[in-house]
Amino acid sequence: MATELKDLTKRSEDYSKWYNELVVKAELAEQADVRGCMVIRPYGYAIWEKMQRVLDDMFKETGVQNAYFPLLIPKSFLSREAEHVEGFAKECAVVTHYRLKTNETHDGVVVDPTAKLEEELIIRPTSETIIWNTYKNWIKSYRDLPILCNQWCNVMRWEMRTRLFLRTSEFLWQEGHTAHATREEAEERAKQMLKVYAKFAEEYMAVPVIQGVKSETERFAGALDTYTIEAMMQDGKALQSGTSHFLGQNFGKAFDVQFLNKENKTEYAWATSWGVSTRLMGALIMTHSDDNGLVLPPALAPIQVVIIPIGKSDQMAALDEKAEAIVKNLKALGVSVKYDNADNKRPGFKFADYELKGVPVRLVLGARDLEKGLVEVMRRDTLEKENVSIDGIEQYVKNLLDDIQQNIYKKALDYRNAHIYECDNYEEFKERVKDGGFFLCHWDGTEETEAKIKEDTQATIRCVPFMFEQTEGVDMVSGKPAKHRVLIARAY
């Protein structure tokens, strides 16, 4: 499984190809022999596991509990909520039979026509319907509320054009589904979870995001409001990285989830849902990585430090001994470290391989340096090398990891901020948007304007951002009055 680094396409040559190659070469994921599905390889899954662990702890801090609901949804459930069925029932995997039988030539299996389901089952594209059908039995009184459930699971949407992590037919995600006694509490929860996502993206993934609310057109099917975090990739395109929906009473009404409120009156329950998926892997890769391969934030790197010895065979015992002491001390500091003294690979190969895999810090233990009490330290984000005293190397490395985490965040933030433009002229916008970037433009709030922008430029309104001070103005397309600027960009 040796990987020749020189084969990696440069970002400047073909950003899209660079991404596709990197995902495969770094052994993160690959296309499966099932249309549109992926295999997440151990190295990629280890990053996803770290993300899961951090997010799960953050959810639980807010009172959320995990649960599990069925994979299959009766077809009729999807029709209950009018907008929801429009958004999700169309492209989905449909189970129609429950048995195979041996074929006539006895060399294969065929569907048994006698085993046809009375009602077809859909592989969940999202679980609002099956979950609210369950909540109906759990919620009788305001005392049963709130319900704060989350599940980590697989979902399936029959996508026509797929890309590893960014858009696959099957993907892994978490979906939180909460039920509340009041509108205010539900709206508050939807906003709270968006903040959790933003904090995770910025502090762990080192990916700066813009929080905002979607336009009506871009809302989740069945939501009254969809909140979003939008990240900028190195090609200036936006990547929607997490969404949180205030669902009003739409699902409460669709599944007849009523409760007695404090005034002893019957009321429909209020809902939110919120999710992030393996798409975050795409955001992570595209934000930081370079032409040498992955650059991973130390907070999510499966291996934070790799130690590679260089010496003649009679020097290896001493190098091993020294390395093992460093490994032990680093582990005691909570640093994950790998010592790679495999003798069937050249050091040069190892260097390239760990660069490709984005290991944040590399230590090279050379026999001669060791005599001088030195070790070579390389940081993956800048590729800078320096010789450092081996005394206290562990604390030095730990500080360096913190520094890398901060540095790659700052680098991404600077890049993004340098590519956000206020724009008031549609001709100028059409020209500049081709090169990527986020555009802050006044919008009259109509679907017509939104559709025209999309048709002319492929760019979409990503959100009404919260972070910028808003002023009234004139819509750059229609010339009509506009209440605020929206964030417009081409997006993944």
Binding site for a second copy (CB under 8 A): 1, 30, 32-34, 37-42, 45-46, 48-49, 65-76, 78-79, 85, 89-101, 107-109, 111, 120-123, 130, 133-134, 137-138, 140, 143-144, 149, 153-154, 156, 158, 170, 172, 344
Cβ proximity to a second copy, 302 vs 445, nearer residue: 302
C-alpha span between 435 and 444 (Å, rounded): 25
Cβ proximity to a second copy, 90 vs 368, nearer residue: 90
The dihedrals phi and psi of 96, each to the nearest 5 degrees, come to -115, -20
- In the complex, the smallest distance separating the C-beta of residue 330 from a second copy, rounded to whole angstroms, is 18
- In the complex, the smallest distance separating the C-beta of residue 42 from a second copy, rounded to whole angstroms, is 4
Cβ proximity to a second copy, 34 vs 317, nearer residue: 34
- In the complex, the smallest distance separating the C-beta of residue 30 from a second copy, rounded to whole angstroms, is 8
Cβ proximity to a second copy, 158 vs 415, nearer residue: 158
- In the complex, the smallest distance separating the C-beta of residue 118 from a second copy, rounded to whole angstroms, is 10
- In the complex, the smallest distance separating the C-beta of residue 178 from a second copy, rounded to whole angstroms, is 12
Residue linked to tokens 């770290």:
50
Cβ proximity to a second copy, 66 vs 382, nearer residue: 66
C-alpha span between 206 and 203 (Å, rounded): 5
The answer to whether the peptide bond before residue 146 is cis (omega within 30 degrees of 0) is: yes
Nearest in space to 416 (alpha carbons), one of 384, 462, 450, 474: 462
Residue linked to tokens 């206290």:
392
Q: What contacts 8, CB < 8 A, 6 or more positions away?
A: 18, 21, 22, 25, 291, 292, 293, 356
Q: C-alpha distances in angstroms, 303 versus 39, 327, 330, 401?
A: 21, 12, 12, 12
Cβ proximity to a second copy, 37 vs 260, nearer residue: 37
- In the complex, the smallest distance separating the C-beta of residue 125 from a second copy, rounded to whole angstroms, is 11
Nearest in space to 469 (alpha carbons), one of 448, 484, 491: 484
- In the complex, the smallest distance separating the C-beta of residue 91 from a second copy, rounded to whole angstroms, is 6
Cβ proximity to a second copy, 147 vs 397, nearer residue: 147
Cβ proximity to a second copy, 234 vs 278, nearer residue: 278
Q: C-alpha distances in angstroms, 142 versus 63, 193, 253, 267?
A: 17, 22, 16, 9
Nearest in space to 407 (alpha carbons), one of 256, 288, 303: 288
- In the complex, the smallest distance separating the C-beta of residue 27 from a second copy, rounded to whole angstroms, is 9
CA 144, 150, 155, 160 dihedral sign is positive
Which H or E run contains 20? helix 15-25
Please tell me whether residue 212 adopts helix, strand or coil conformation: strand
What six digits make up the tokens of 415? 């890049």
C-alpha span between 211 and 264 (Å, rounded): 38
Cβ proximity to a second copy, 252 vs 445, nearer residue: 252
- In the complex, the smallest distance separating the C-beta of residue 437 from a second copy, rounded to whole angstroms, is 34
